[in-house]
Amino acid sequence: MKKSFVYLLCFICIICYSCVSSFKLGRYNGRNNSGNPNDFTFFADSTFSYNYYGSIGKHSSGKYGIRDNRIILNSNISNTTIPVECLVIPSDSLIEKNRVTFSFNLSEEEQKGYKCIPILNNDTLNNKEGIIYFTQGIQIDEKWGNYTIYYTEPIDSIKLWILKDPFIGRPTRILTTKTMYFDKVIGKDITFNLTINDSLFGYRVFDNIELAIKRNKIIFIDIEENKKNALYLRQD
């Protein structure tokens, strides 16, 4: 019985080693133009690159490690939240009250490629016929670049959605700022200065994401797309 257990243990070790040793550096994607948009490339210096060639562009890069029969991915960037500086001017120094201004750290021409959509007081966003409606007494036309809105209800919180013009490149996911909280602000001038890092648009964060190693392929379970992907080593 003891000898059988040892044989079984040895067999399991051989199988596990075989999976690890079968991993080869190179580029992995769908087989025979299967239409799978995921594409990984693994390099000898333990770095990887990732591209997603679907309807929405995604990309990433970072470090990988091998543990048992798994590849562990960690991207170089762990947070894609857009930095924002907020300035609130007291009411006694206001020229215009109840004003919110959104300003990009870009030239007048460059800022036209970006859009800022504010979510005030955690309202639900309803985009219909090119107009953004809010339930807290605010109606905002969609505008590209810097612009100003006026509010009539006290502000408890503001979160900003940042969009990039899809005609500049492939459409990418919306980026966001952190949610900024206020003590029912009313009658004040609020300015948001946004720092745009263009490389964050479409960047995918990998935080200890595991890929299973199989012979000449890897298995990537994409939580965002809710899909299991078999990606094969390219032979060319």
| pLDDT band, very low/low/confident/very high, at 17 (cuts 50, 70, 90) | very low
pLDDT at 18: 46
The whole-chain average pLDDT of the chain stands at 79
Q: What is the pLDDT of residues 61-90, one digit of tens each?
A: 999 999 989 999 999 999 999 999 988 887
Rounded alpha-carbon distances, angstroms, from residue 189 to 87, 96, 99, 151: 8, 7, 5, 10
| pLDDT band, very low/low/confident/very high, at 155 (cuts 50, 70, 90) | confident
| pLDDT band, very low/low/confident/very high, at 55 (cuts 50, 70, 90) | confident
- Of all residues in the chain, the percent with pLDDT exceeding 90 is 33
Q: Cα torsion at 87, 193, 62, 224 (round to 10°)? A: 90
Rounded alpha-carbon distances, angstroms, from residue 150 to 115, 136, 186, 189, 219: 17, 11, 11, 9, 50
pLDDT at 133: 40
Is pLDDT larger for residue 73 or for residue 182?
Answer: 73
pLDDT at 215: 84
| pLDDT band, very low/low/confident/very high, at 205 (cuts 50, 70, 90) | very high
Report, as an integer, the average pLDDT of 206-211. Answer: 96
pLDDT at 231: 94
CATH code reported for the domain at 2-77+203-233: 2.40.128
Q: What is the pLDDT of residues 98-136, one digit of tens each?
A: 788 889 888 888 888 888 888 888 764 444 333 344 434
pLDDT at 91: 63
Q: What is the pLDDT of residues 167-179, one digit of tens each?
A: 555 667 788 999 9
Rounded alpha-carbon distances, angstroms, from residue 4 to 8, 10, 11, 15, 16: 6, 10, 10, 17, 18
pLDDT at 108: 84
Is pLDDT larger for residue 47 or for residue 138?
Answer: 47
Delimit the domains of the chain by residue range.
2-77+203-233, 84-200
